A and B are shown apart, each in its own frame.
Chain A
Amino acid sequence: MEKTWNNKAWFLVLPVLLLVAFSAVIPLMTVVNYSVQDTFGNNQFFWAGTDWFDDILHSDRFWQALQRNLLFSFIILALEIPLGIFIALNMPRKGIGVSVCLVLMALPLLIPWNVVGTIWQVFGRVDIGLLGRTLAILGVDYNYVRDPIDAWITVIVMDVWHWTSLVVLLCYAGLVSIPDAYYQAAKIDGASRFSVFRYIQLPKMKRVLLIAVLLRFMDSFMIYTEPFVVTGGGPGNSTTFLSIDLVKMAVGQFDLGPAAAMSIVYFLIILLLSWVFYTVMTSRDAEN
């Protein structure tokens, strides 16, 4: 069959193309540009090839930050996904409770990231914070400024507080889409509470859970603002994640070349891991 070419169609795509070009492609390309050159003052550029990439991939600093990032994302997923499912299962299905719960759940999501950081920064302070002071009075030795473990706990609890709602809302959407007939049939079949979860609710939530895991993984892997505001990456480097390290390098030390190289590596890692997650989680479908 002869294909009809209609070149006018390009005009319709053009606005989006321009938008994407200015918002994504061109900035990304400037980063690529920086990553292969050495920059001096007066806009002098010298070709550096893959030197900066070599530097990054052989620096302990990068690998340590990457490890911290992976550990953080793992803990976040392990906490937020089960907790989100648990809360969603226990949310009311009808009546006034639904809107109350939904609003309460949505609130943390509406707070700007740096405000969340500030809230927890103050909340956890040993001298004036509600949490920090209470713990101190109770005799718990808690100080996120001094102790790396305390800093991690604070950052993790903060993220759970901030983002579990997203998982809850997604799971809840999946749950309410299950027709009543399924629950009725399960009752008729004499299914236990666990069987209902295992064979009805979980399979129906699978798709939204996939989205939840992907979003939470990407977001937690790119986390910057909240730990930056609370701990500034400290104590020492204990909460310095890749993004914080990147900003230190680019803005703090003005090492544009290595920073650009690191950005690209960082971007590729997220892309790769997201792809792996997605493939693994959807491959079960294809088995059949």
Chain B
Amino acid sequence: MARITLDHIRHAYGANPVSESDYALREVDHEWNDGGAYALLGPSGCGKTTLLNIISGLLQPSHGRILFDGRDVTELSTQARNIAQVFQFPVVYDTMTVYDNLAFPLRNRHVPEAEVDRRVREMLEIIDLSGMAKRKAQRLTADQKQKISLGRGLVRNDVNAILFDEPLTVIDPHMKWVLRSQLKRLHKQFGFTMVYVTHDQTEALTFADKVVVMYEGQIVQIGTPAELFEKPRHTFVGYFIGSPGMNVMPARISGNRVSIGSESIELDNAPRIGGDERIELGIRPEFIRFAREGLKVKINRIEDIGRRKIVRAEFEGRPIAIVASEDVEIPAEPRIVFDPARINVYADSWRVGEEA
């Protein structure tokens, strides 16, 4: 178990990075707590896997250092770092039995055979493959194979950290749920530092204590699921977390009034902004409600998704999403109100704090 420090990590795959866009990972400088469960969330190609491979040592960062518990491991090989990693697609050793697959990482580290046997049997129980211990791994289905990959990572319980690279992509939904709760349980039991890469926000939000949102090679926010939902630091987080994502619209600020097109709203307090930044206003669809008085909208479409309705409307010529509960009557001449406490103001895509 270890605290992981990422000290000004930058990485470019090309040999001579010139501009900022040549970097797959633009500058990551963070510290991850010992025993924490972190989810790395972000769209494809945002640098999640790059960051993961740098932590495990499969990749050397172009700049910066990695420290485990304050010890510099940047130059250490993957083997020496004592990290477990599970990949997106199942990797099994075809010619070995299920049992031998799970024993492989232990035997390579010269763990006594009795201990190997104990841990492998325990792991077989956890991944529910006890009945197949003697089968050759080659003939298994994709999700059984992935369970073996997971098991090979978890069977070593002395690791510094376990890294998961979208491990549940190939698993069917029901099994996903089971495995995810087992992972959580194991995490509680052994307390290893756990980093989980995913592009599925539900997976990230249910799994992790802290969610790390990445976008274009940078970490844009680290926070609890609630923080990400209520105070997205970057418009991307607002858009990426939540379904539908946050409404973001260009705005102008003067004092504590914000105007969008021809409409204007009063804020709780005046955001402190500089001169010529691009100002945007963000409001989650959940925090907009229909009212007698308010902003005029034109409704285009209503999607009924069971307990809630998603209203797709047009506000000042721009699309806007509103979430209303099932029993809300949509008026003929609809007007809406933004919950003032839930309005976020963004300058050049970054959130402006009220007090800042």
Q: Does residue A138 face the partner (Cβ distance < 8 Å to B)?
A: no
Q: Are B89 and A188 in contact (CB under 8 A)?
A: no
How far does the alpha carbon of A242 sit from the alpha carbon of B88 in the complex, in Å?
Answer: 55
Q: Are A199 and B108 in contact (CB under 8 A)?
A: no
How far does the alpha carbon of A67 sit from the alpha carbon of B152 in the complex, in Å?
Answer: 51
For the complex, count residues of A whose C-beta is within 8 A of B.
17
> Hey, which chain B residues are within 8 Å of A182, CB to CB?
91
Q: Does residue A181 face the partner (Cβ distance < 8 Å to B)?
A: yes
Asked, given contacts A185-B149, A288-B138, whether A199 binds B84 with beta carbons under 8 Å apart, the answer is: no
Q: Does residue A23 face the partner (Cβ distance < 8 Å to B)?
A: no
| Contact stretch, chosen from B66-74, B92-100, B216-224, B345-353 | B92-100
- B52 shortest CB reach to chain A, Å: 11
Q: Are A181 and B108 in contact (CB under 8 A)?
A: no
> Hey, which chain A residues are within 8 Å of B57, CB to CB?
187
CB < 8 Å neighbour of B91 from A185, A203, A288: A185
Q: Are A203 and B78 in contact (CB under 8 A)?
A: no
Q: Are A195 and B85 in contact (CB under 8 A)?
A: no
The chain A residue with its CB closest to the CB of B89 is: A181
Q: Are A185 and B108 in contact (CB under 8 A)?
A: no
How far does the alpha carbon of A251 sit from the alpha carbon of B108 in the complex, in Å?
Answer: 63
Q: Are B56 and A188 in contact (CB under 8 A)?
A: yes
Q: Are B94 and A190 in contact (CB under 8 A)?
A: no
How far does the alpha carbon of A188 sit from the alpha carbon of B152 in the complex, in Å?
Answer: 10
CB < 8 Å neighbour of A203 from B53, B56, B94: B94
Q: Does residue A28 face the partner (Cβ distance < 8 Å to B)?
A: no
- B76 shortest CB reach to chain A, Å: 12
How far does the alpha carbon of A200 sit from the alpha carbon of B91 in the complex, in Å?
Answer: 10
Q: Are A187 and B79 in contact (CB under 8 A)?
A: yes
For the complex, count residues of B whose C-beta is within 8 A of A.
28
Q: Does residue A192 face the partner (Cβ distance < 8 Å to B)?
A: yes
> Hey, which chain A residues are within 8 Å of B96, CB to CB?
199
Q: Does residue B309 face the partner (Cβ distance < 8 Å to A)?
A: no
How far does the alpha carbon of A188 sit from the alpha carbon of B87 in the complex, in Å?
Answer: 11
Taken residue by residue from 171 to 208, chain A's Cβ proximity to chain B (1 for < 8 Å, 0 otherwise) reads as 00000000101101101111110010001100110000
The chain B residue with its CB closest to the CB of A179 is: B89
The chain A residue with its CB closest to the CB of B152 is: A189
How far does the alpha carbon of A182 sit from the alpha carbon of B152 in the complex, in Å?
Answer: 13
Q: Are A199 and B93 in contact (CB under 8 A)?
A: yes
Q: Are A184 and B108 in contact (CB under 8 A)?
A: no
The chain A residue with its CB closest to the CB of B93 is: A199
Asked, given contacts A199-B93, A199-B96, whether A188 binds B108 with beta carbons under 8 Å apart, the answer is: no
> Hey, which chain A residues are within 8 Å of B153, CB to CB?
188
Q: Are A288 and B139 in contact (CB under 8 A)?
A: yes
How far does the alpha carbon of A203 sit from the alpha carbon of B53 in the complex, in Å?
Answer: 26
Asked, given contacts A184-B58, A199-B95, whether A189 binds B108 with beta carbons under 8 Å apart, the answer is: yes
- A192 shortest CB reach to chain B, Å: 7
The chain B residue with its CB closest to the CB of A198 is: B95
The chain B residue with its CB closest to the CB of A199 is: B93
How far does the alpha carbon of A203 sit from the alpha carbon of B93 in the complex, in Å?
Answer: 9
For the complex with contacts A184-B78, A189-B152, 5 further pairs of A-B residues with Cβ separation under 8 Å are: A184-B91, A188-B105, A195-B104, A199-B96, A204-B94
